[in-house]
A and B are shown apart, each in its own frame.
Chain A
């Protein structure tokens, strides 16, 4: 079945998530949709799946215009979706899960589990899935659960299968198995839309690649395109923003990280024997495609994750913080802008003023004994709102009512107004409007010029090049190179793809 998306535009308020996207998926093709988080891939697929209605444009299947008002319509038309988070019931068996929603029944509405089992076995055998229909979902490894999701879609006669970041939860071996499955499916005529930001996988499995950036298709490529070419397409060629900055004047070492390894939630080594130093008055950017250990490294520095093994050490101004708690790290002068402000940076039910004292609730300028110093808090909040240009009716407005850019300014204001020696800024401008990006960038430079050490973690090459004094590129948990700020995009792209000179 040939799938065509024609001029799909989807807006959320002022934000254009998809901007006139055209996409053609040929029958039996594995079509990779490549782009950073927030590029608009998932929005596009949700439009396809009937979860969102497009503001403009339409969807065609085999040349016939479709009108999906929900996932049910999309499924009936032959579109199947495997979400990043599986929609399975853990205490049901594989067969029961596959049957769920359109259970085959016998007389009197008794469920015909035998038919359901037969379905599973048939599909599983056809593609070599090796799935036991009677196993309970909760007993299966993640990779097999994903296959159950695929079986579920296929059992509903899906001709187009959308896999949303399918490898994000898989181990490398499971990823290889999944890619084998994808090839099998394509051979049998199923079209596959493979959403990812991992270049290696795209090159290994895709027939065609469409790169999306900031809601627009920025290019198509064949899988034999070089990784650096793909990487630079993905993070953007043109410089969007420039920041005036003086030459850095680095002082003494502030942060020292020495042979640190960190495990992720799946107990895989996400950070592998990393060492680096950051000096006063310097911005070190940790660049790299997302998911190469930056998140875990940042969480380790804050104290949210413990190091793996015994040899890893980190110190702040000569004081060891390897096993420090978050509070100890914060107290010893670490400022932290988390990559996901909604989960880690803000309490959205709290007012701006409350959010500004989030990590200063022990002894601080916000407190008076065990009391909150409401007068001081109000004064500080109003000053910071003014200084950081937070657009809000008042300091008592809940953070949830602010736009993304203003929320981020609250986080930045909180961290920069504390007495810090080191700032760790993780994706400080993700999902932030252009005006706020500029403002936040200027503030980060100002911190550097005031003699603070800054670690900038960013997957945006523009941001890295605009701000960094030195760039350390991370790939698969390792720092594969530390280069100067004038390094070409092509060279950075190569490093980000794991190609070392």
Chain B
């Protein structure tokens, strides 16, 4: 009897947490995001617009046109990102899923990095710059250094992490020393990193491919440095996924289990109390920025070492910015970021097949933006669905409070 009560109690507790906390809101945000995307698809559909002309005579046409375009669009997204039932073999049918995993991996790793700074009360907008710095280091090692198999890859991966971490540490150092705001610093570093990278790729003595004719492009990574394929040569999925999963575990350990993460979180919640508890808050900011960028560096190595094609200035693939949305959607927790990264990876994998059937893939960008909008502005969702006010303050809530209530991240 008492056991039953206990279970009952626990269930209601769990329900309460879901209702008041993040999970339900996250799911609602995703659903709403897809709805917004659907509206755009319908609005841009030729048949639907034409049927509007006689909507009062035959409203059915408009509805069926709308239903068809949404069904086709999201159907294509599913087929392009998870399972393609039109394929003749099972191997081909699950290829989209492997693409989702491949494209999600760097988003997960970089999302962990950005999420880490959220937990420390910082706002790292510099994912792109740090990613590029990591790519510079990883690409250099992969193209200009000769090392045996496996070792070469490991060294290149570490170089990518270290390169990114150095730029992150520099931002942390400037913040700690001069009080400059990390948002400004990281945004500016993005430009510096991007043009520095391009500059390096224009010079054959530095990173430029020997055969490239004036265009900024680096050599392809040496075969010894490439991430090995994970499921054989018929899939492009490579070890980047494994490294991203390792990063999730490391992140979880760091933030939830280790004393380092304890201090990081302490500084994030209450820097005054941290100072009085003997924590060097300035050094913690430097450490946090370095660690954050280090996770981004895993994504950098993924970009440099994942494919046997030389990188170009656009190889950062906007991962640094997408990572912010991944971290927000994932609530800055390891498992959350893993799922959010996979979702956005699926968007990336599925967008070509949407384009093929004539739905503009930009819809997915809108969905992505709308999801984060709904996540970041919880009062909006609460108002729409009359949800109760959340009871617990998590790191993300703290971040929101700073951004939306105080008028700026501290």
Residues on A facing B (Cβ under 8 Å): 302, 304, 325-327, 329-331, 336, 338, 343-350, 354, 357-359, 361-362, 366-367, 370-372, 374, 398
Contact = CB atoms under 8 A, between A and B. Distances in A.
A374 B257 CA distance: 8
B277 A370 contact: no
B272 A344 contact: yes
Given A331-B278, A343-B272, A348-B269, 18 more contacts: A304-B276, A325-B278, A326-B275, A326-B276, A326-B277, A327-B280, A330-B278, A343-B270, A344-B272, A346-B270, A347-B270, A358-B273, A361-B262, A361-B277, A366-B259, A372-B259, A372-B262, A398-B392
A350 B395 CA distance: 11
Interface in B186-237: none
Contact of A336 (B260, B263, B276, B280): B276
Interface band, chain B = 20 to 34
B398 interface: yes
Interface in B274-330: 274-280
B9 interface: no
A299 B74 CA distance: 61
Contact of A367 (B259, B266, B280): B259
Contacts of B277: 326, 330, 358-359, 361
Contacts of A343: 270, 272-273
B258 interface: yes
Contacts of B276: 302, 304, 326, 336, 338, 344-345, 359
B393 interface: yes
Contacts of B259: 361-362, 366-367, 370-372
A398 B394 CA distance: 11
Nearest to B260: A370
A345 B278 contact: no
B169 to A, nearest CB: 20
9 contacts: A302-B276, A326-B278, A336-B276, A338-B276, A347-B270, A349-B270, A358-B273, A372-B258, A398-B392
A371 B275 CA distance: 21
B280 A346 contact: no
A350 B269 contact: yes
A362 B259 CA distance: 7
A359 B257 contact: no
A371 B258 contact: yes
Contact of A327 (B265, B278, B393): B278
B275 A348 contact: no
B410 to A, nearest CB: 14
Contacts of B258: 370-372
B177 to A, nearest CB: 17
Contacts of A325: 278, 280
Contact of A359 (B260, B269, B278): B278
Contacts of A372: 257-259, 262
Given A326-B278, A371-B257, A354 B262 contact: yes
A304 B275 contact: yes
Contacts of B270: 343, 346-349
Nearest to B393: A349
Contacts of B260: 370
B333 to A, nearest CB: 15
A327 B275 CA distance: 9
Contacts of B392: 398
B157 to A, nearest CB: 22
Given A325-B280, A349-B393, A354-B262, A344 B273 contact: yes
Contacts of B274: 347
A345 B270 CA distance: 10
A358 B262 CA distance: 9
Interface string B230-271: 000000000000000000000000000111101101100110
A220 to B, nearest CB: 38
A349 B269 contact: yes
Contacts of B262: 354, 357, 361, 372
Contacts of B275: 304, 326, 344
A327 B274 CA distance: 11
Interface in B55-101: none
Nearest to B261: A372
Contacts of A302: 276
A358 B272 contact: no
Contacts of B278: 325-327, 329-331, 359
Contact of B266 (A304, A329, A358, A362): A358
7 nearest A-B pairs in the assembled complex, by CB-CB distance: A327-B278, A359-B277, A344-B276, A326-B278, A347-B270, A358-B277, A343-B272
Contacts of A344: 272-273, 275-276
Nearest to A414: B277
B193 to A, nearest CB: 31
Contacts of A350: 265-266, 269
Residue from the set A329, A349, A370 with the largest chain B CB neighbour count within 10 Å: A349
Nearest to B278: A327
Contacts of A326: 275-279
A325 B274 CA distance: 13
Contacts of B263: 361
Contacts of B398: 349
A372 to B, nearest CB: 6
B262 to A, nearest CB: 5
Contacts of B257: 371-372, 374
Contacts of B273: 343-347, 358
Q: Which of B257, B259, B265, B270 has the most CB of A within 10 A?
A: B259
A357 B265 CA distance: 13
Nearest to A330: B278
B338 to A, nearest CB: 22
A370 B272 CA distance: 23
A275 B269 CA distance: 36
A354 B272 CA distance: 16
A466 B399 CA distance: 44
Interface in B352-410: 392-393, 398
Nearest to A401: B391
User: B269, B270, B273, B392: which has the most chain A beta carbons within 10 Å?
Assistant: B273
Contacts of A304: 275-276
A32 to B, nearest CB: 32
Nearest to A344: B276
Nearest to A329: B278
Nearest to A299: B276
A302 B276 CA distance: 8
Contacts of B265: 350
A357 B279 CA distance: 12
A366 B265 CA distance: 16
B258 to A, nearest CB: 5
Task: Output the residue of B260, B272, B275, B278 with the most chain A CB within 10 A.
Answer: B278
A336 B278 CA distance: 11
Nearest to B254: A370
A142 B230 CA distance: 66
